[in-house]
Structure 1
Amino acid sequence: MAGNSSAPGATVTSRVLALLYAFDEHHRRLTLTELAGRAGLALPTAHRLVGELVAGGALVRRPSGEYVVGRRLWDLGMVAPVQSGLRETASPFLNDIHAATRATVHLAVRDGMQALYLDRLSGRASVPVVSTIGSRLPLHATGVGKVLLAHAPDEVRAAVLAHLPRITTYTITEPRRLDQQLEKVRREGYATTVEEMSLGACSIAVPIRAAAGDESVVASVGVVVPNLRRDRARLLAALQVAAQGIGRSLTAPR
């Protein structure tokens, strides 16, 4: 259940938010009954509020009767400073990576204990990629996620290491082994995955720092390719140049 907004004293705002927060990475389409249940609302209340959200463009009702998040909410989310500023600044550099590698390119930030994908440019190679712009994926099974996890606060790292769900047969689920990898990421400046999120897909990613010499990592940029055996050095070089450029642009006077 996403919330308990049917409690006495709950405001209309809290009930609307509970309905919106009922959607997540694993619940992209919900029936009215499911929405009411996850939001902790009586069905008539959910029906009335969902109707208003549909009229306002925040939700869309599919022909199947299920509801999905509307474009208006996406547009609103994209004006948040972390999305709009970073995504806009990074865009030309992501295009440079894409032109140089023809691989799928990702820009991500950490959102709690997940990687939030701010941008994605699709590659030409037929590689299974599960990310979409705005999606959230596990930190421990993605290249950009490992970079973000390696530089996350100790308490975040500890919480993630305590729960490492297996996604493919190659997902690292042993806390000690992953912790050793994260130490290597901090030492060498990049992370890799080998079929840990999707079979047939490997990734390499680097951190983006806001200023030269600043150890704080604000985001990660990476690529997804069929394998890393031949082109690792070339891909890493392209990512490092782009990450440095993004970092300089983020701190340049405007």
Structure 2
Amino acid sequence: MERRKRNIVVVLIGIIIVVAILSSFGLGMFAPDTAKIVLPSAAPSASPGQVENDGVVRVDVTPQTVQSVIATLNRPESYGRSVTILDIWGENAQGTTQAQVWVDGGWTRTNATLPGGEVRCSIVGDGQVWIWYEGEDEVLNAPADQSSADLEGQRIPTYETVLDLETDSIARADYEELNGLSCIYVETQADETGHVERYWVADDSGLLVQAELLQDGQAVYRMTSAALERPAPSDASFTLPDGTVLHEAGA
């Protein structure tokens, strides 16, 4: 009888330990994040480089730290959005490219309507890139590199474009509001040709929402994007002209 009691006590102790461990994990999973990168505001109790407001840690950005801050932002794995690219050659000379972009599970599909009216399509995923023109059956297939999903010939920069900048070339970094959206703003120094690059990265999605190229203070290129649709719509197509399905959204 005494041995049986000891066994019961041992089992009870084991149960208590297991419950305590599971409880600690559960609290960690369901407790709200206490460190988020959002628009900073002054707070006298904050530590250097940070400010606090209602328990939320807000990180200041500088030209030296902005790339690290952008790299840590959370980005959606599935979304769709429209992108407008404006090339400006003079006061009355400009060309517009309208692109629809879908991203899902590591795959990117882009349909870009070029200034001449042609629609250029591309799919990037699984280490490959497929490119073709709407209405044509011929498809170019090649190995993809890290810039394939970013540029695809459409010249659509992403947040990775900012991460690839030389840190010494960054002249200014700050938080700015763009059309009601809180963004991290990055501006480069003028290069030897007088070009300055400007980028706005949304701090809620981590995605680049606007980019500009200035020459001698005048915009010669501008990329803007509309609000995200999250997740990517179920009818987002990752299918080649011959009917080959490379990926299914949401799969």
- Sort the TM-score into its range (normalised by shorter chain): under 0.3
- Determine which structure has the larger helix proportion and give its number: 1
The TM-score, its normalising length taken from structure 1, stands at 0.25
Which structure is richer in relative contact order (CA contacts within 8 A, separation 6 or more)? 2
The TM-score, its normalising length taken from structure 2, stands at 0.25
- Determine which structure has the larger strand proportion and give its number: 2
- Structure of larger gyration radius: 2
